[in-house]
Chain A
Amino acid sequence: MEHYNMNLTLKVWRQKNKNDQGRFETLQAKNISSEMSFLEMFDVVNEELINEGKEPIAFDHDCREGICGMCSMHINGRAHGPWEGTTTCQLHMRAFKDGDTIVVEPWRAGAFPVLKDLTVDRSAFDRIIEAGGYVSVNTGNAQDANNIPVEKHKADLAFAAAACIGCGACVAACKNSSAMLFVSAKVSQLALLPQGHPERRTRALNMVAQMDKEGFGSCTNTGACEAECPKEISLTNIARLNREFINAGFTSEK
Chain B
Amino acid sequence: MKWSQFFNTSIGKKLLVGATGFFLCSFVLVHLAGNLQLLYKDGGKAFNTYAQFMGHNGLIQFLAWGLKIVIVLHAFIALQLTIRNRAARPVKYQVNPGNQTSSWFSRQMAIMGSILLIFIVVHLAQLWAPFHYAEMPTQSYEGVSEPIKDLYSVTYALFQNPLWVILYVVGMIALSFHLIHGFKSAFQTFGLNHSKYNGLINFIGLWLFGIAIPVAFAAIPVVIYLNK
Name A residues whose Cβ lies closer than 8 Å to a Cβ of B: 11, 22, 24, 74, 76-78, 103, 105, 108-111, 114, 173, 175-178, 205, 208-209, 211-212, 215-224, 227-228, 235-236, 238-243, 245-246, 248-249, 252, 254
Residue of B nearest to A175 (CB): B107
Q: Measured between C-beta atoms, what is the minimum distance from B44 to chain A in Å? A: 42
In the assembled complex, the Cα of A209 lies from the Cα of B85 at a distance in Å of 16
Q: Quick one: CB contact mask for B86-98 with A, threshold 8 Å, 1 for yes?
A: 1111111111111
Q: Is B89 a contact of A248 with CB atoms below 8 Å? A: no
Q: Is A110 a contact of B89 with CB atoms below 8 Å? A: yes
Q: B4-36: which have CB < 8 Å to A?
A: 5-6, 9-15
Q: Is B88 a contact of A178 with CB atoms below 8 Å? A: yes
B138 within 8 A of A: no
Q: Is B9 a contact of A212 with CB atoms below 8 Å? A: yes
Q: Is B1 a contact of A77 with CB atoms below 8 Å? A: no
In the assembled complex, the Cα of A77 lies from the Cα of B100 at a distance in Å of 10
Residues on B with beta carbons closer than 8 Å to the beta carbon of A177? 85, 88-89
Q: Measured between C-beta atoms, what is the minimum distance from B83 to chain A in Å? A: 10
Q: Measured between C-beta atoms, what is the minimum distance from B96 to chain A in Å? A: 5
Residues on B with beta carbons closer than 8 Å to the beta carbon of A209? 1, 5, 9
Residues on A with beta carbons closer than 8 Å to the beta carbon of B94? 11, 24, 103, 105
Residues on B with beta carbons closer than 8 Å to the beta carbon of A240? 191
Q: Measured between C-beta atoms, what is the minimum distance from B130 to chain A in Å? A: 37
- CB pairs A–B below 8 angstroms (17 shown): A11-B94, A76-B95, A103-B95, A105-B93, A110-B89, A178-B85, A216-B10, A217-B88, A218-B11, A218-B81, A220-B85, A222-B101, A224-B102, A228-B97, A239-B191, A241-B191, A242-B190
B188 within 8 A of A: yes
Q: A249 and B12 in contact (CB under 8 A), knowing A103-B94, A105-B93?
A: yes
B193 within 8 A of A: yes
Residues on A with beta carbons closer than 8 Å to the beta carbon of B107? 175, 222
Q: Is B106 a contact of A111 with CB atoms below 8 Å? A: no
Q: Is A110 a contact of B87 with CB atoms below 8 Å? A: yes
B49 within 8 A of A: no
Residue of B nearest to A21 (CB): B91
In the assembled complex, the Cα of A217 lies from the Cα of B106 at a distance in Å of 15
Residues on A with beta carbons closer than 8 Å to the beta carbon of B93? 74, 77, 105, 108
Q: A222 and B191 in contact (CB under 8 A), knowing A108-B91, A109-B89, A246-B15?
A: no
Q: Measured between C-beta atoms, what is the minimum distance from B161 to chain A in Å? A: 37
Q: Measured between C-beta atoms, what is the minimum distance from B210 to chain A in Å? A: 15
Q: Measured between C-beta atoms, what is the minimum distance from A168 to chain B in Å? A: 13
Q: Quick one: CB contact mask for B165-203 with A, threshold 8 Å, 1 for yes?
A: 000000000000000010011001111110000000000
Q: Is A228 a contact of B109 with CB atoms below 8 Å? A: no
Q: Measured between C-beta atoms, what is the minimum distance from A220 to chain B in Å? A: 6
B132 within 8 A of A: no
The 6 residue pairs across chains A and B that have the minimum distance between CB atoms: A243-B191, A239-B193, A77-B95, A217-B88, A176-B85, A218-B10
Cross-interface CB contact of B88 among A103, A216, A246, cutoff 8 Å: A216
B68 within 8 A of A: no
Q: Measured between C-beta atoms, what is the minimum distance from B194 to chain A in Å? A: 8
In the assembled complex, the Cα of A105 lies from the Cα of B103 at a distance in Å of 23
Residues on B with beta carbons closer than 8 Å to the beta carbon of A242? 11, 188-191
Cross-interface CB contact of B106 among A178, A215, A221, A241, cutoff 8 Å: A221
Q: A111 and B88 in contact (CB under 8 A), knowing A74-B93, A239-B193, A249-B1?
A: yes
Residues on A with beta carbons closer than 8 Å to the beta carbon of B5? 209
Residues on B with beta carbons closer than 8 Å to the beta carbon of A227? 100-102
Q: Is A223 a contact of B9 with CB atoms below 8 Å? A: no
Residues on A with beta carbons closer than 8 Å to the beta carbon of B191? 239-243, 246
Q: A77 and B85 in contact (CB under 8 A), knowing A212-B9, A222-B103, A223-B101?
A: no
Residues on A with beta carbons closer than 8 Å to the beta carbon of B91? 22, 108, 114
Residues on B with beta carbons closer than 8 Å to the beta carbon of A239? 188, 191-193
In the assembled complex, the Cα of A114 lies from the Cα of B91 at a distance in Å of 10
In the assembled complex, the Cα of A22 lies from the Cα of B94 at a distance in Å of 13
Residues on B with beta carbons closer than 8 Å to the beta carbon of A24? 94
Residues on B with beta carbons closer than 8 Å to the beta carbon of A224? 97, 101-102
